[in-house]
Structure 1
Amino acid sequence: MTTKRTSFIRVVKCLPVLSVGFALVAASIASAQDQRISSQPIRFIVMFAAGGGSDVVARYVADRMSTLQGQTVVVENRPGAAGVIAARQVLSSDPNGLTVLVASNPLLINQIIRPETKFEMLKELTPVASVAPQSVVLVTPPEFPANSLKELIDVAKKRDLNYGTTGAGSLSHLAVAYLLSSQPDVKMQHIPYAGSAPALTAVMANQVELGSSTVPPTIGLIAGGKLKPIAIASANRSVMLPNVPTYAEAGFPALPVSVWTGFFVPKAAPKDVVDRLSKAILTASSGPEAQAKFKELGFEPSTSGAEKFNDELNAEFKIWADVVKNLDPATFK
């Protein structure tokens, strides 16, 4: 009897502790739920195939949002038509802010070079945030007789060069076109490839004298002495290639553009949802863990909120519109 009474007393004494424990767990669950944008899943519609840079970033952000905020995020890939297919799917969805387009520069550029698509990104979509930008780097074969952008232009003034990019109308293409727009005495032949891998392979095989690509695919090749970096075609030096100067540092017009991964919703999406979504994406993409992950992938560990990203997009649109109007339309066929 005494043993049973003692056990009962112990249980009674533990009840306040257990109650506090349960309360803390309940508060934790409630807090996580409070941070959710919605009890419904959010859908990220990615304009690229699975495995690409923006897809990797989207999936990482989705996982972090799930971990940090308890928000369910489903990632779907809808590649094709320079992002217009994915954009149309988002625009045809309920404009409640829960179907989010994950896109990159080609969608913005496409409306300039292919107006017949009748898609105006800046008028139809609201920017939410951009994360993990990538710089563009110009590279040559190791034996090419130039070690700087000035020396490369000097060579190009003496003889015609060709350059390989990740495709007609890509940022890697327009980054070189932007450079050449300030050099009327220089003519280079553009050779488009289906992505970074074949373009960089062509540079290493001396099939083209200059290559233009985002930084991540070049890191190992540069470190292994198979490619020589000449300049960064972005606003700032790359954290992955800190010793390579930008266009501006090399004495040429600055190019304040990077390859971004951006999140967008339809214009009709409620502002409070857009604000909460922007905060959630930026939180998921910030902090030491996220920055280390982005650096590991070769991306720049920076972010832009909705207002800043919108300003960046409008400035970039003007840059590419000026560049494209001086190019032969056949360039993009």
Structure 2
Amino acid sequence: MPIARRSAIVAACSTALLAFAGTASAQSWPTKPVRLLVGFPGGSTPDVVARIVAEPLSKALGQPIVVENKPGASGNISADLVAKATDDHTIGVVINGNLTSSQMLYPNLPYDPAKDFSYISLLATAPLVLVANNNLPTGKEFLPAAAASGQKWSYGSVGVGSVGHLGMELMESRVPGFKAVHVPYRGNPQILTDMIGGQVQLALIPPGLAMPQVQAGKVKAIGLTTAGRSALVPDLPSLSEIGVKDFNLEVWTALLGPASLSPVAQKRLSTELAVIMKSPDVRKKLFDQGWQAVGTSPEGMKLRVKDEAAIMGKIISTKGIKLN
């Protein structure tokens, strides 16, 4: 056999063996049930997303996915448990703040978002709806009227440092003359109740909670926080369309593991999720809950976190936002 041909055959066989070894290695994980930690109570938005994803992920991995709710400190307690896990079978669902703003808001945060995790994938995103009391103008009339009034507009959020809080602070910085005062609440339902009653004027609320009240005529929808329109609320304009420049903000959930997570596990999870998040069944279930399925590479997730952390960090620093 000619040497060139023999070398080609050897090279082909080596490539095939390496590919087989890689596949075999990937299939060797997981070797036992996988814990999926969620930093919020059962029935919360992150919990709903986690359970929708857990079922098909369990089938793909061939091992049970055990969802464990570990609420507290806006999800930071659960995130810290993931960061400190060492068994290669503990992962977690987190929200924006756990990776983009908590480090700036909590001086003693026990984990480093940039160093203590293996990023796996963004799972789902949703815009926020700027909703208003029925006494306020909407559409393109709102911003000029709000800016010209000279008054401070009250707005509710689920707490200092939440996306709803930071998003309104961001909007205030992008709209000359618009002034707002923050009123913290325990949850979005309480905000909507007080808005209907006239105790608070504005809020940024996820569409799954906001739109039923809008459709019932109890509050008004002004616009979405995305750069363009969203399939979740196709008839509602973006805030950019009505005059808020360079405004693009979403809430999201993501999957990550500890920094010690093996590359094999990280790749397997990311690869399986890329398929799962394209599934019509999963996409519909998430859509019905007010979410759009995403699915990204670890690198894509890391870039999203980096970009958003820079925006949130600037707002927190400029506005001097602190947690008591």
Q: 1:267, CA displacement in angstroms?
A: 1.6
Query: Counterparts in 2 of 1:45-84, with a 5 A limit?
Result: 45-84=37-76
SS in 1 for 2:319: coil
Q: Distance in 1 between matches of 2:140 and 2:115?
A: 37
2:8 maps to: none
Partner Cα separation in structure 1 for residue 125 and residue 198 of structure 2? 29
Partner of 2:123: 131
Paired with 1:265 and 1:288, the residues of 2 have a C-alpha distance of: 26
Distance in 2 of aligned mates of 1:36 and 1:221: 49
Deviations 1:27-81 (A, max 9, x none): xxxx9xx868413111101111111111111111111122344331111011112
Quickly say closer, same or farther: Cα 1:70–1:153, change in 2 above 3 A.
Answer: farther
> Is 2:134 aligned against 1:142?
yes
Aligned ranges 1:313-332 → 2 under 5 Å: 313-330=305-322, 332=323
Q: Distance in 2 between matches of 1:217 and 1:238?
A: 16
* 8 A Cα contact 1:163 1:211, kept in partner: yes
Q: Work out whether 1:262 is the aligned partner of 2:257.
A: no
Measure how far apart 1:157 and its partner are: 3.1
Which runs of no fewer than 5 residues in structure 2 stay unpaired?
1-22
More deviation in 308-317 or 152-161? 152-161
| Structure 1 position 114 matched with structure 2 position 106 | yes
Q: Residue 65 of structure 1 aligns to which amino acid in structure 2?
A: L
Count of residues paired in the alignment: 299
Which consecutive aligned stretches of 4+ in structure 1 deviate over 4 angstroms post-superposition?
none
* Correspondence 1:293 to 2:285: yes
Q: Once the two structures are aligned, what percentage of the paired residues are identical? A: 28
**TM-score (normalised: structure 1):** 0.83
Change (3 A) 1:187 1:137: same
The whole-number CA distance in structure 2 between the counterparts of 1:184 and 1:248 is 14
Larger Rg belongs to: 1
| Preserved CA contact (<8 Å) 1:156 1:188 | no
Give the residue type in structure 2 aligned to 1:230. I
Kept after mapping to 2: 8 A contact 1:35/1:70: no
Aligned-residue offset at 1:153 = 4.6
Distance 1:133 1:168, change over 3 A: same
Give the secondary-structure state (helix, strand or coil) at the position aligned to 2:134.
coil
User: What does 1:28-39 correspond to in 2, within 5 Å?
Assistant: 37-39=29-31
Distance change in 2, residues 1:267/1:203 (3 Å): same
- Tell me the TM-score normalized by structure 2: 0.86
Q: Give the CA deviation at 1:179.
A: 0.7
2: CA distance, partners of 1:77 / 1:113? 23
Structure 1 spans left out of the alignment, 5+ residues: 1-30
Q: Partner of 1:230 in structure 2?
A: 222
Question: Structure 1 CA distance, aligned partners of 2:70 and 2:108?
Answer: 21
State the partner residue of 2:198.
206
- 1:35/1:289 CA distance change after superposition, 3 Å: farther
Match of 2:244 among 229, 249, 252: 252
User: Does the CA-based 8 Å contact 1:235-1:256 persist in structure 2?
Assistant: yes
What is the deviation of 1:118? 4.6
Q: 2:145 aligned with 1:154, yes or no? A: yes
Shift of 1:127: 1.3
Compute the displacement of 1:309 (Å): 1.0
1: CA distance between counterparts of 2:29 and 2:230? Answer: 33
Q: Distance in 1 between matches of 2:318 and 2:141?
A: 23
How far apart in 2 are the matches of 1:37 and 1:67? Answer: 13
Alpha-carbon displacement from aligned partner over 1:149-189 (angstroms, at most 9, x marks no partner): 66235324312211111221110111110011123533211
**RMSD (Å), alpha carbons:** 2.2
